[in-house]
Amino acid sequence: MTHDVKEIFAGTTGGAPPAPAALAAKVRTLAPSMTRSMQRVAEAVAGDPAGCAALTVTGLAELTGTSEATVVRTARVLGYPGYRDLRLALAGLAAQQQSGRAPAVTADIAVDDPIADVVAKLAYDEQQTLADTAAALDTVQLGAAVTALAAARRVDVYGVGASGLVAQDLTQKLLRIGLIAHAHSDPHLAVTNAVQLRAKDVAIAITHSGSTGDVIEPLRVAFERGATTVAVTGRPDGPVTQYADHILTTSTARESELRPAAMSSRTSQLLVVDCLFVGVAQRTYETAAPALSASYEALAHRHRNTPR
């Protein structure tokens, strides 16, 4: 199966335009996959929502050095039926920004920053990443993934590097509520395990770039074997989505010399897998609750103070 950006952000939500608060998050997430002319439009509306809300489609095209058709296409990629709907969202976003919120901490971390400034900047970036991910997360897709996981015979999760740590985190949580789950960071083991998957099994690929071959390959095998497949990715147009039944999009803060993309992508990925876990625990509460209690009891003695 194939997906394009428009289908992912418009079709999966039944055509409902995103709320104003989600606009800036979608611009940050989708801009890397847009054409340069569309990027200029997206960056303009995110940078000056009040000013752009006052412009006609012709005015915005002239401001960004593009065409009216490009402006309309950009609005649709962002999830709006047309430019009129985008203008309404821009007006709403401008109103929110003028409501007296504290100014954002936007500067990158410098080599000579005091540690207090490092803490403040990292905290702000983490908060923004989580807010952006929550705003852009398609709850229809999330719900479908939860449904598949709750009924799964077996769950395989693929991830390498920082994404591999997130894969391990998810499988440990699922194991504690009674699901059979395995995390795979070795590409050979991932593929050989994926070959064994069938219908009613679930395979999850975690890749910020959406183009990690060691993750895409086992997901492709699982997809071809009939398993339900899920992609957790920062690039909803990336190659991994070709083999995903459900796509869960993550966001990241700006990358800088002292803050690589893996740091903020891990934060947003952890939010998504926590949402998956809680959703599954809710759906399977009658079996999940006793399993979780049993796992706590089995480990309780390790947390007690014992004489040496």
Give the angle 127-130-134 at the CA atoms, nearest 5°.
Answer: 140
C-alpha span between 89 and 20 (Å, rounded): 5
Instruction: Note the pLDDT of residue 2.
Output: 40
Q: Where in the chain is the domain with CATH 1.10.10.10?
A: 18-97
Residue 43 confidence (pLDDT): 87
pLDDT at 105: 47
Q: Which CATH architecture has domain 122-299?
A: 3-Layer(aba) Sandwich (3.40)
Amino acid occupying residue 57 = V
* Block mean pLDDT (10 aa), the chain, length 308: 38 49 72 86 87 92 94 88 86 72 55 82 81 86 97 97 95 95 96 96 95 96 98 91 95 58 78 96 92 84 65
Give the model's pLDDT for residue 55. Answer: 92
Q: What's the confidence (pLDDT) of residue 29?
A: 73
Distance, in Å, from the CA atom of 1 to the CA atom of 39, rounded to the nearest integer, reads 27
Residue 6: per-residue pLDDT? 35
Task: Enter the CATH code of domain 18-97.
Answer: 1.10.10.10
Element (H, E) at 269: helix 261-283
For the chain, residues classed under CATH 3.40.50.10490 are: 122-299
Calpha distance 189→54 (Å, rounded): 56
Q: What is the DSSP string of 116-147?
A: HHHHHHHHHHHHHHHHHHHHH--HHHHHHHHH
Distance CA 192, CA 301 (A): 37
pLDDT tens for each residue of 230-247: 999 988 888 999 999 999
* Cα–Cα dist 125/106, whole Å: 8
